[in-house]
């Protein structure tokens, strides 16, 4: 599933094509994805001018001058295509602009979603209502992590993946950041010191920034809107490297919890 860097990369790719442009065509080509597509999406978005594109956690936001925000989630296989020569079977939403540019949301597995909310109600939108701070924001600090995990007995990896604690972190980048910070994914959250949390916050920000700069980590179906693959996967230190040598010489290990793989180095991470 595309994680924060992939969504950030997607939004950046859409921005020059959509931002400031008027939508002359908004055409849902089916009634639902993971959830029903708003029945008034076509009416409310057609003729509107896109004023801003942004990201919240793993969601992309397309705001218009009518005070509406179209929120998209890419699910497991979703991607935007820019100026495709032809429409394909799994192209489920078509947008066209006043400059005759076409953008198409393609989602073969239909695990993504499309919603439409008022801009002044965005914080009350279901998935956003209880979300923690953005990991790249100034509110995400070692002090914050220490406070939010106080007395928590759950493993730190589980706590980082909980969107109520921090918004947008996913499996790949949590594995990488914990390795960079030298913290075992199984260590109890409440038992980690503030200095170690400060080191972890730095690692999370560095890993995410590097992944965004590299265009994300293309897994299976994900590509950027221009069709290019992300290349951060080539820089993974532990993720997907079970049995290979860590930089310290010890083998990278893998364990599975609740169907999710965790990659780590027992020697480096304590």
| Catalytic machinery residues | 2-3, 58, 260
For 145, the 3-state DSSP assignment is helix
Pair 46, 53: CB distance under 8 Å: no
- DSSP letters, 16-59, are HHHTTPBEEEEEESSSBSSSBPPTTHHHHHTTPBEEEEEEETTE
- What's the CA gap between 79 and 215, in Å, rounded? 14
Give 268's contacts (C-beta < 8 A, 6+ positions apart).
179, 182, 246, 247, 248, 250
What does the DSSP 8-state code read for residue 78?
Answer: -
For residue 95 the two structure tokens come to 């947008």
């Amino acid at each position: 599933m595309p994680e924060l860097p992939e969504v950030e990369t997607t939004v950046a790719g859409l921005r020059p094509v959509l931002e400031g442009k008027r939508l002359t065509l908004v055409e849902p080509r089916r009634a639902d994805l993971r959830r029903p597509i708003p029945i008034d999406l076509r009416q409310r978005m057609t003729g509107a001018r896109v004023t801003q594109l942004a990201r919240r956690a793993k969601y992309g936001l397309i705001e218009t001058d009518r005070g509406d925000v179209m929120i998209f989630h890419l699910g497991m296989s979703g991607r935007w295509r820019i100026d495709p020569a032809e429409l394909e079977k799994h192209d489920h939403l078509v947008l066209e602009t006043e400059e005759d540019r076409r953008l198409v949301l393609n989602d073969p597995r239909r695990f993504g979603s499309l919603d439409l909310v008022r801009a002044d109600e965005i914080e009350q939108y279901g998935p956003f209502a209880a979300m923690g701070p953005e990991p790249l924001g100034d509110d995400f600090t070692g002090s914050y992590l220490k406070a939010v995990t106080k007395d928590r007995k759950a493993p730190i990896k589980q706590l980082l993946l909980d969107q109520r604690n921090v918004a947008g972190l996913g499996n790949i980048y949590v594995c990488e950041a914990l390795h960079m910070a030298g913290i075992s994914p199984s260590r109890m959250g409440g038992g980690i010191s503030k200095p170690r949390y400060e080191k972890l916050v730095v690692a999370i920000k560095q890993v995410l920034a590097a992944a965004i700069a590299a265009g994300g980590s293309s897994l299976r179906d994900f590509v950027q809107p221009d069709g290019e693959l992300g290349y951060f996967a080539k820089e993974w230190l532990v993720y997907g490297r079970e049995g290979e040598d860590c930089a310290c010489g010890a083998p990278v290990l893998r364990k599975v919890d609740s169907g999710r793989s965790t990659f780590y180095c027992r020697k480096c991470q304590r």
